[in-house]
Amino acid sequence: MQRIIAVSSSLLLVAKFWAYYLTGSVAVLTDALESIVNVVAGFIGLYSLYVAAKPRDIDHPYGHGKAEFLSAAVEGTLVLSAGVLIIYTAVRNLLSPVPIHKLDVGIYLLAGSGLVNWILGSFAVHKGKKAGSLALVASGKHLQTDTYSTIAIIAGLVLISLTHLVWIDGAVAVAMGLFIIYTGYKILRESLAGIMDEADMKLLEKMIALLEGSRRENWVDLHNLRVIKYGNVLHLDCHLTVPWYLNVHQAHAEIDALAGLIRADFGESLELFVHSDGCLYFQCHICQKSDCPVRQHPFKERVEWTMDNALQNEKHSLKDVEEES
């Protein structure tokens, strides 16, 4: 998919510069300048997907998935730079307007390129989300943004043809430049969040809801839960508290059940690091195991695993229930 984007962006770049050559419109030039970014970003994204798909090795024990974050960061930076250059060019045009020619041909060329961009962008975002590829999603969103700017530029050209007000050309270019800068900021922000291993709260919330809704009797407690996603591989760390008298094989069976539950919902590309803890006496009050042979205190109330308590690096007890209530 990324290869198709790279090749298509190159062809559309030629079409947009041809439209600029025919019309002399600075708004069309801004669309062409953004397409340069599309081409460069498309080939960078293609290379990043190749790197990210490499299996983990001794030098990269967590795989190469972060290459996609770096690719998206470069793409976001390029988009921001294009936005700044577009605004600079547009302001110069507002101060010194230039004549515009052959608007009809320019409109047709831009409309065709915009349609292709939208189809490619929507497909790339869909495929990227399905595969968990930030680079592919970033490329798709960039193509969709390019489509929005193309539509606005076409509207501006139509307005110019109706009113013959040349300054509209520069005004449209400024507006598009600001929109492109905002899009670049969002892409850059998301990529930096991935590079810095920022917690994905939506992913964590979904994970905790799955585990809470499918708790086994031997899962006394869950805490210190952390989830990181590199490329299409999900890395999960947590502490699972089980009855202290389980032997190693029995405790490992509980971990296998936890892994199977997560893989059934999140896919097979999962690396799980679970530390099994033995329960302590103060957790009897929250333990629902009905046939526990060593229970010291009666069960009182279950601790529901939530975003507030599952992420903490601390075993839960009855006080957690009392504090919530």
**pLDDT tens by residue, 97-111:** 777 888 888 888 888
Cβ neighbours of 123 (radius 10 Å): 16
The answer to whether domain 2-195 and domain 201-324 are alike in fold is no
Q: What is the pLDDT of residue 39?
A: 73
- Sequence-separated (6 or more) residues with CB below 8 Å from residue 290: 217
- pLDDT, mean over the chain: 82
Coil vs helix vs strand at 287: coil
In this predicted structure, the answer to whether residue 325 has a pLDDT above a threshold of 60 is: no
Q: Which amino acid is residue 301, in one-letter code? A: E
Q: Does domain 2-195 have CATH number 1.20.1510.10?
A: yes
In this predicted structure, the answer to whether residue 88 has a pLDDT above a threshold of 90 is: no
In this predicted structure, the answer to whether residue 146 has a pLDDT above a threshold of 90 is: no
Q: What are the domain boundaries of the chain?
A: 2-195, 201-324
CB-based contact 290:198 (threshold 8 Å): no
pTM of the model: 0.63
Q: What is the pLDDT of residue 239?
A: 94
Highest mean pLDDT among 246-255, 271-280, 295-304: 246-255
Q: Tell me which H or E stretch contains 126.
A: helix 103-131
Identify the CATH number of the domain defined by range 201-324: 3.30.70.1350
